[in-house]
Chain A
Amino acid sequence: GENVEQHPSTLSVQEGDSAVIKCTYSDSASNYFPWYKQELGKGPQLIIDIRSNVGEKKDQRIAVTLNKTAKHFSLHITETQPEDSAVYFCAANLGGGSNYKLTFGKGTLLTVNP
C-alpha cells in the first residue's frame, strides 16, 4: 500500500555533530514533503518542507534533500544542539489529484548528548 518509511528509528549524536534522517515514499505522484519536530508533550511542529520542483532546501542548520527518481528524501541537521533532541517525522502527500493526504513516517527519536 501507500506508505512512508523512515530510518533510523533512533539516533544518538554528540553535540556539534551532524544528524541525518532518511525517508522513502511509494507514490510517484507525491510532490510535497514536510518534516515535523515533536517535543515531549507537544504537538508536531513544522520545521521545513520541500516540493518536488527543487532538490534541496536549507534553513539555517536544517536542510532537506529530495531525490524524486529514487523516491527518497532526507533531513540534515548540522551542528546539533541539546535542544534539537526530539522525535522527527517525515511526511509525504499521497493520493494524487484532489485527494492528497499527508502520510507520516513512524518517527526518529533524536538524542543530542552534551
Chain B
Amino acid sequence: DSGVTQTPKHLITATGQRVTLRCSPRSGDLSVYWYQQSLDQGLQFLIQYYNGEERAKGNILERFSAQQFPDLHSELNLSSLELGDSALYFCASSVHPDGSYEQYFGPGTRLTVT
C-alpha cells in the first residue's frame, strides 16, 4: 500500500458527460501528479500540482482540468468525454516539487466511456 488513495475505483459514463476523479496524497507529500494509462499510449503525464499551485503540464487536453485543495487532495475533472478517454487514471504523490524524486502511485481509477 503506497498510502495514496483514489476514488472512485471504477467509473462508467456516457460520451459528452463530465466526471471528477479524486486523489489523496501520502501524508506529508505536497506534490500530486496525474497520469493517464492506455494500451496504445502507455503511461502519460498529464499535470502536476505542488502545494496548491500548478507546477507542470504534460499532454493534458483542454477538456481536462485539475486542482489541488488546501488539504492537499487533488481532483481531476474530465469533461465532454469521448470514447478515447477510456483509460486508467493514476495519481502519484511526492514530497518534492519536481520530477526528479520518488513518486508513489495510487491504485487508479478505471474510466469507461460508452
Contacts and interface: CB of A to CB of B under 8 A. Distances in A.
Interface string B78-114: 0000000000001000000111111111111000000
Interface in A91-107: 93, 95, 98-107
B43 interface: yes
A43 B99 contact: no
Contacts of A101: 45, 48, 56, 58, 99
Contacts of A103: 45
A5 B58 CA distance: 18
A93 B100 contact: yes
Contacts of A95: 99
B42 interface: yes
B27 interface: no
A44 B43 contact: yes
Interface residues of B, number: 23
Interface in B9-61: 33, 42-45, 48, 56, 58
B89 to A, nearest CB: 10
A100 B98 contact: yes
Interface of B: 2, 4, 33, 42-45, 48, 56, 58, 90, 97-108
19 contacts: A36-B105, A43-B2, A43-B90, A43-B105, A44-B43, A45-B2, A45-B105, A46-B104, A46-B105, A93-B99, A93-B100, A98-B98, A100-B98, A100-B100, A101-B48, A101-B56, A101-B58, A103-B45, A104-B43
Interface of A: 31-32, 34, 36, 42-46, 49, 89, 93, 95, 98-107
